[in-house]
Amino acid sequence: MPKLRLTAAAVDRFQPPAKGQVEYYDAHLPAFGLRVSYSGAKAWFVMTRINGKLTRLTLGRYPALSLAEAREKARQVIENAKAGGDPRRLEAEERRRKAKEQQTTFRGTAALFMERYVERELRPNTAREYRRILQGSDTAAWRDRPISSISKDDVVDLLHRIEERGSPAAANRALAYLGKFFNWSLEQDLITVSPTAKVRALSSGKSRERVLTPEELAWLWCTLNGYPGLFGGLFKVLLLTGQRRSEVAGMRWDELRSLNTSEAVWHLPPERTKNAQSHLVPLAPAVRTILQMLPRTGPLVFSTTSKTAVSGFSKAKRQLDLRIAQLRSDEHLASLLPWTLHDLRRTMVTTMNERLSVPPHVVEAVVNHISGPAKRGVAGVYNRAIYLNERRNALNHWADYVTRLVCDNHASDSMALQFAQGLAQQEQIPSRPARLIAAMPEVHLQS
């Protein structure tokens, strides 16, 4: 057991033995030393008596623990042992203190919240949104901070950063998720006041009313026909089915039934829908064609990794807007008014009701709503009709309406009337005149 005055330079020079380990004791503090193993690992130790028994305690590894720090720690252990204390108990208490401190960081508290509340109580889609806010890039700077140090100013700054990306609605959602998280932390006595308590939403959050006009739909569809990458097909399916963005993005091949036939249907299981109700989406020929042209790289239809659903909607939407704006600029036309992907769903619903004369209960069924009078209350208990044929008819005509807008500006007039008459005959209800779309200027797109 070599004994010498340990210095930082000497510790660096120590070479591992051919086998086993060798210990170097410090001439300055004889009970303190360094153990070097054949693997090259170097660990500090101290020898002291605990309850009359000579005991070796490991202090930490070099270089994570420096020579000066290890020597000081050895002195404290020796003094505590002389005073009758047990350094091992003190070390255990220190580990518990550090573990509790780690738990009360934003990162640790968020992990507890996800485990004890979100993952147990909430649907997968909602859990994913909580994960994105609490464990994503927006709150990355908070991760190692004590949760009690997060202030109202921190929250407001975060919301402004999200809003500046062009996402005021996302900022409002972030505030709602953070509010729930901090209120839970308050209930667990991890904080004494919530930093979101007096933070107001940055935007009003009023219900949107944006519905794209036939001309706007024509420009959108024409642009999508030349839009590259996976998002071109995804945006088309989003438009032609009217389903929610998360539902389309998470589409799986095993959810698609009879894809190569006119009876093709997309079956959404309860865990993938907002209202936790299974949902059948008949697939129009145009949608089937889009899906059949996509490569199969894994279980997910829209995926670049074959393991996770496609992401980056904001960037893809901005690129689409720029593409449409450039095409319209070439024709000396102004850019389209701002619109969101969810506006496509509202546009389909509105058009089915006002232009294609689809009965309201069929429209409700198409978008998996259970709020209509035919499905509410006692009526909903007995009315289990799924209107699958009517839904297929509605979605087929909607797809025809969209895809023909570019080719024939007036085709939708007669199509709307024929569709209304077809539904009236099918359901034995008096037909009513279809609202005809206004004359639409010709659209000339450069290739």
Q: In what order do the strands lie in the sheet with 42-50?
A: 3-4, 21-26, 32-37, 42-50, 53-62
Q: Which domain holds residue 380?
A: 214-427
226 and 332 co-located in one domain: yes
Among the candidates 102, 136, 167, a domain finishes at 102
pLDDT tens across 265-316, in order? Answer: 999 999 998 888 899 999 999 999 999 999 998 999 999 887 888 888 888 9
Q: What is the CATH number of the domain that holds 53?
A: 3.30.160.390
- Rama region for 349: left / alpha / beta (φ>0; ψ in -120 to 50; rest): alpha
CA distances from 290 to 238, 324, 348 (A): 11, 21, 19
Residues 82 and 123 in one domain: no
pLDDT at 435 over 70: no
Number of domains in the chain: 3
Q: Are residues 239 and 227 in the same domain?
A: yes
Same domain? For 158 and 52 the reply is no
pLDDT tens, 215-231?
999 999 999 988 888 99
235 inside domain: yes
Residue 441 lies in a domain: no
Both 148 and 219 in one domain: the answer is no
| DSSP run (H or E) holding 230 | helix 230-241
Confidence of residue 374 (pLDDT cuts 50, 70, 90): very low
Spatial contact of 268 and 278, defined as CB atoms under 8 Å apart = yes
The SS3 call for residue 63 is coil
Mark out the alpha helices in 114-229 (DSSP H runs).
119-121, 124-134, 152-164, 168-187, 214-225
Q: Is the pLDDT of residue 376 over 60?
A: no
**Assigned domain for 111 exists:** yes
Cα–Cα dist 150/190, whole Å:
12
**Across 375-380, average pLDDT:** 43
- Asked whether the predicted pLDDT for residue 162 surpasses 90, the reply is no
Answer yes or no: is 318 within a domain.
yes
The first and second tokens of residue 147, run together, are 């949760």
Query: What is the rounded distance in angstroms from the CA atom of residue 444 to the CA atom of residue 310?
Result: 32
Round the average pLDDT of the chain to a whole number and report it: 83
Query: Burial, 411: exposed, middle or buried (Cβ in 10 Å; 0-12, 13-18, 19+)?
Result: middle
Q: Is the residue at 390 inside a domain?
A: yes
Among 50, 57, 61, CA closest to 32: 57
286, 412: one domain: yes
| Residue 155 shares a structural domain with residue 270 | no
pLDDT above 90 (res 91): no
Q: Does the residue 181 lie in any domain?
A: yes
Q: In this structure, are 78 and 116 located in the same domain? A: no
Mean pLDDT of 51-56: 80
Residue 432 lies in a domain: no
- Residue 139: name the closest of 113, 119, 159 by CA: 159
Return the ∠ at Cα 208 (arms to 356 and 282), rounded to 5°.
Answer: 40
Asked whether residue 415 carries a pLDDT value surpassing 90, the answer given is no
- In CATH, what number is assigned to the domain containing residue 313? 1.10.443.10
